[in-house]
Structure 1
Amino acid sequence: MNINKPYEEYKISKIPYINQIPKGWIEYPFYAIAYVKSVTKNVDEELLSVFLNKGVIKYNQSTGTQVHKPSQDLSNYQLVESGDLVLNNQQAWRGSVGVSKYRGIVSPAYYVFSLSNLINPKFGNYLFRDAVMVNQFVLSSKGVGSIQRNLYYPFLKRVRVLLPPLDEQDQIVKYLDFQLAKINKFIKSKKKLISILKEKKQAVVNEAVTKGLNPNVKMKPSGVDWLGEIPEHWEIKPLRQLLKPVSVKNRADLPLLSVVREKGVMLRSEMSKEENHNFIPDDLSGYKVVDIGQFAMNKMKAWQGSYGVSSYNGIVSPAYYIFNLFFDNKEYFHYAIRSKVYVNFFYQASDGIRIGQWDLSLNKMKDIPFFIPPEEEQSEIVQYIPHEFKRIEDSISKLQQEIDLITEYRTRLISDVVTGKVDVRDIEITEELEEIDIDEIEEDFNDNEEVVDSEECEV
Structure 2
Amino acid sequence: MSFQRYAEYKDSGVEWLGEVPEHWEMCKTKFLFNLMKRQPRDEDKIVTAFRDGTVTLRENRRTEGFTYALQEIGYQGVRTGDLVIHAMDAFAGAIGVSDSNGKSTPVYSVCKPIDAVNAWYYGRLLRHMALSGYVSSLAKGIRERSTEFRWVEAGNVALPFPPLPEQSAIAAFLNRETGKIDALVAEQEKLIVLLKEKRQAVISHAVTKGLNPDAPMKDSGIEWLGMVPEHWEVKRFKDVCSEIVDCKNRTPEENEQGKYFVVRTSCIKDGRFDTSQGYFTDYDNFVEWTKKGVPQAGDILFTREAPAGEACISPADIPFCLGQRMMYLRPDNNKITSKYLMLSVYGPLARESIQSKSKGSTVGHLRVGEVGELPCIVPSVTEQKEIVTYIDNLNDRIDSLTLEAQRAIDLLKERRSALISAAVTGKIDVRELTAKEH
**TM-score for the superposition, normalised by structure 2:** 0.77
Letter of the 1:425 counterpart: R
Indicate if the aligned counterparts of 1:251 and 1:289 stay in contact, CA closer than 8 A: no
Q: Partner of 1:222 in structure 2? A: 220
Other structure's SS at 2:30 match: helix
Deviation at 1:38, TM superposition (A): 3.4
Structure having greater relative contact order (Cα 8 Å, sep ≥ 6):
1
Q: Partner of 1:84 in structure 2? A: 82
State the alpha-carbon separation in 2 of the partners of residues 52 and 219 from structure 1. Answer: 52
1:335 is the counterpart of 2:347: no
Correspondence 1:157-176 to 2 at 5 A = 157-176=155-174
State the alpha-carbon separation in 2 of the partners of residues 359 and 12 from structure 1. Answer: 62
Letter of the 2:97 counterpart: V
Aligned length: 399
Q: What's the C-alpha RMSD, in Å, of the aligned pairs?
A: 3.8
Letter of the 1:332 counterpart: Y
Q: Partner of 2:35 in structure 1? A: 36
Letter of the 1:392 counterpart: I
Deviation at 1:393, TM superposition (A): 0.9
State the alpha-carbon separation in 2 of the partners of residues 58 and 289 from structure 1. Answer: 52
Deviation at 1:77, TM superposition (A): 3.7
State the alpha-carbon separation in 1 of the partners of residues 70 and 300 from structure 2. Answer: 44
Q: Partner of 2:209 in structure 1? A: 211
State the alpha-carbon separation in 2 of the partners of residues 397 and 11 from structure 1. Answer: 43
State the alpha-carbon separation in 1 of the partners of residues 53 and 396 from structure 2. Answer: 33
Letter of the 2:18 counterpart: N
Indicate if the aligned counterparts of 1:259 and 1:307 stay in contact, CA closer than 8 A: no
Paired-residue identity, %: 27
Correspondence 1:244-393 to 2 at 5 A = 249=248, 250=250, 252=252, 255=262, 257-258=264-265, 262-263=269-270, 270-271=276-277, 291-292=294-295, 293=299, 296-298=302-304, 301-302=307-308, 305-306=309-310, 312-317=320-325, 322=327, 325=330, 327-328=332-333, 329-351=337-359, 357-358=363-364, 369-393=375-399
**What is the aligned counterpart of 1:191 among 185, 189, 193?**
189
Deviation at 1:32, TM superposition (A): 0.8
Deviation at 1:346, TM superposition (A): 2.4
Deviation at 1:365, TM superposition (A): 6.9
Q: Partner of 1:281 in structure 2? A: none
Indicate if the aligned counterparts of 2:28 and 2:155 stay in contact, CA closer than 8 A: yes
In structure 2, relative to structure 1, the CA distance for the partners of 1:59 and 1:240 (3 Å cut) is: farther
Deviation at 1:260, TM superposition (A): 6.1
Letter of the 1:327 counterpart: D
Deviation at 1:191, TM superposition (A): 1.4
Q: Partner of 2:47 in structure 1? A: 48
Other structure's SS at 1:127 match: helix
Indicate if the aligned counterparts of 1:56 and 1:100 stay in contact, CA closer than 8 A: yes
Q: Partner of 1:416 in structure 2? A: 422
Indicate if the aligned counterparts of 1:295 and 1:324 stay in contact, CA closer than 8 A: yes
In structure 2, relative to structure 1, the CA distance for the partners of 1:265 and 1:142 (3 Å cut) is: farther
State the alpha-carbon separation in 1 of the partners of residues 252 and 192 from structure 2. Answer: 42
Q: Which moved more, 1:8-17 or 1:102-111?
A: 102-111
State the alpha-carbon separation in 1 of the partners of residues 176 and 247 from structure 2. Answer: 61
Larger radius of gyration: 2
Q: Which moved more, 1:392-401 or 1:43-52?
A: 43-52
Other structure's SS at 1:344 match: helix
State the Cα deviation string for residues 235-294 of structure 1 (Å, max 9, x = none): 222345346776564584683622567345868x7329xxxxxxxxxxxx99x9785236
In structure 2, relative to structure 1, the CA distance for the partners of 1:194 and 1:346 (3 Å cut) is: same
Deviation at 1:379, TM superposition (A): 2.0
Deviation at 1:173, TM superposition (A): 2.2
Indicate if the aligned counterparts of 2:271 and 2:311 stay in contact, CA closer than 8 A: yes
Q: Partner of 1:58 in structure 2? A: 57
Q: Which moved more, 1:371-380 or 1:74-83?
A: 74-83
State the alpha-carbon separation in 1 of the partners of residues 17 and 124 from structure 2. Answer: 17
Q: Partner of 2:138 in structure 1? A: 137
Indicate if the aligned counterparts of 1:11 and 1:23 stay in contact, CA closer than 8 A: yes
Indicate if the aligned counterparts of 2:24 and 2:162 stay in contact, CA closer than 8 A: yes
Deviation at 1:374, TM superposition (A): 0.6
Deviation at 1:13, TM superposition (A): 1.0
Correspondence 1:432-451 to 2 at 5 A = none
Q: Partner of 2:256 in structure 1? A: none
State the alpha-carbon separation in 1 of the partners of residues 142 and 389 from structure 2. Answer: 54
Letter of the 2:179 counterpart: A
Indicate if the aligned counterparts of 1:78 and 1:105 stay in contact, CA closer than 8 A: yes
State the alpha-carbon separation in 1 of the partners of residues 313 and 10 from structure 2. Answer: 65
State the alpha-carbon separation in 2 of the partners of residues 155 and 290 from structure 1. Answer: 60
Deviation at 1:3, TM superposition (A): 5.7
Indicate if the aligned counterparts of 1:93 and 1:141 stay in contact, CA closer than 8 A: no
Letter of the 1:20 counterpart: E
**TM-score for the superposition, normalised by structure 1:** 0.73
State the alpha-carbon separation in 1 of the partners of residues 77 and 292 from structure 2. Answer: 51
In structure 2, relative to structure 1, the CA distance for the partners of 1:343 and 1:54 (3 Å cut) is: farther
1:151 is the counterpart of 2:149: yes
State the Cα deviation string for residues 50-104 of structure 1 (Å, max 9, x = none): 55855533369xxxxxxxxx99952234433222222233333343322222433
State the alpha-carbon separation in 1 of the partners of residues 359 and 410 from structure 2. Answer: 41
Indicate if the aligned counterparts of 2:53 and 2:127 stay in contact, CA closer than 8 A: no
Q: Partner of 1:403 in structure 2? A: 409
Letter of the 1:401 counterpart: R
State the alpha-carbon separation in 2 of the partners of residues 348 and 164 from structure 1. Answer: 60
Indicate if the aligned counterparts of 2:169 and 2:434 stay in contact, CA closer than 8 A: no
State the alpha-carbon separation in 1 of the partners of residues 22 and 105 from structure 2. Answer: 39
Q: Partner of 2:178 in structure 1? A: 180
Q: Partner of 1:25 in structure 2? A: 24
Which residues of structure 2 form unaligned runs of 5+? 60-67, 254-259, 279-287
Letter of the 1:6 counterpart: R
Deviation at 1:414, TM superposition (A): 1.5
In structure 2, relative to structure 1, the CA distance for the partners of 1:231 and 1:199 (3 Å cut) is: same
Deviation at 1:324, TM superposition (A): 5.2
State the alpha-carbon separation in 1 of the partners of residues 70 and 200 from structure 2. Answer: 42
Q: Partner of 1:275 in structure 2? A: none
Q: Partner of 1:449 in structure 2? A: none
